[in-house]
Amino acid sequence: MSDIEKALQDLRDGKIVLVYDFDDRERETDMVIASQFIDQADIMRMRKDGGGLVCTTLHGPLAEELGIPFLADLFALVSDKYPTMEGLAPFDIPYDTKSAFSITVNHRDTYTGITDRDRALTIRELSKIATMDGGADEKRKEFGSHFRAPGHVHLLRTSEELLSTRQGHTEMSTVLTLMAGLTPSATVCEMMGDDGEALSKEKAIDYAEREGLSFLEGKDVIDAWRSL
C-alpha cells in the first residue's frame, strides 16, 4: 500500500494524518482529520500536540451554496463604512496570493463554543449540511437555523479550482477527503514546536512514526490528485 493509499484509508477510519506543504511555501505540517468523524478527543490532541489554529475547510461549491464568503471579500464590501478594512487587504502574503480564511461559527447547541466538545459538535454538524438533501436555499436555511456567527470554529474556503490555482493546506486537506470518498471538509491544525516556531519537517516525521500516523508531503497529494 502506498503512502497516499494508507493516508486515505486512515482518513476513512477517522484517524489524523499529517500533511507538510512545501519547503518554499509555509514549511508547516498540519494535523488533518475528516470533519465528519471529529470528536472532542481529536480537538484536544490538536490543541496539545499541534498547538496552532484549529480550522475547518469548506469545498468551494459548498461555500457558494451556503453563501459563505472569503473574509477578505467581506471586509472589502464594508470598507465604505469602515475604511480601515480596505487598508488591511492581504495583498502581501509572502507565500500566497489570497487568504483562505472565511467566517467563524458556533453551533447553536454549544455554550461558549470554545470547549473541545463544543468545537467538535460545531464541526461535525457543519459537515452534515454538505450531504443533506435539497438545494442551496434549503442548505442556507438549515445553516442559519443551526449556527451562529461569530463563533470559535474558523472556516477556510478552498479556491475554486482547488490545487490548480492554490496549493495550501486548505486545498490539500479537502482534496484528500474527496479522494477518500468522504464529505469534502477537513479539520486542520498547524504543528508548532517548543521554540515557538513551526515544527520542523524532521520532528513532524518523528512524531508521525512515534504515533503511528501517516505523513504526506504536498507533492504526494498533488501527484495523486492529478493522476485521477
- Annotated active-site residue in 3, 96, 142, 152: 152
Known catalytic membership, residue 95 = yes
Give the distance between the most distant pair of CA atoms in the chain: 56
Q: Decide the pairing of beta strands 147-157 and 186-190.
A: unpaired
Q: Are 182 and 34 in contact (CB under 8 A)?
A: yes
* Pairwise CA distance, residues 166 & 171, whole Å: 7
- Annotated active-site residue in 10, 20, 106, 217: 106
Q: Are 156 and 16 in contact (CB under 8 A)?
A: no
Known catalytic membership, residue 152 = yes
- Annotated active-site residue in 5, 73, 82, 95: 95
Q: Half-sphere exposure of residue 89, counting CA atoms within 13 Å on the CB side? A: 10
Three-state DSSP state, 110:
coil
Known catalytic membership, residue 109 = no
Known catalytic membership, residue 146 = no
- Annotated active-site residue in 26, 190, 217, 220: 190
Instruction: Collect contacts of 143-146 with beta carbons under 8 A, ≥24 apart.
Output: 143/66, 145/108, 146/107, 146/108, 146/109
Known catalytic membership, residue 65 = no
Three-state DSSP state, 31:
strand
- Annotated active-site residue in 21, 26, 30, 171: 30
Known catalytic membership, residue 189 = no
Q: Are 119 and 65 in contact (CB under 8 A)?
A: no
Active site residues: 30, 55, 95, 106, 152, 190
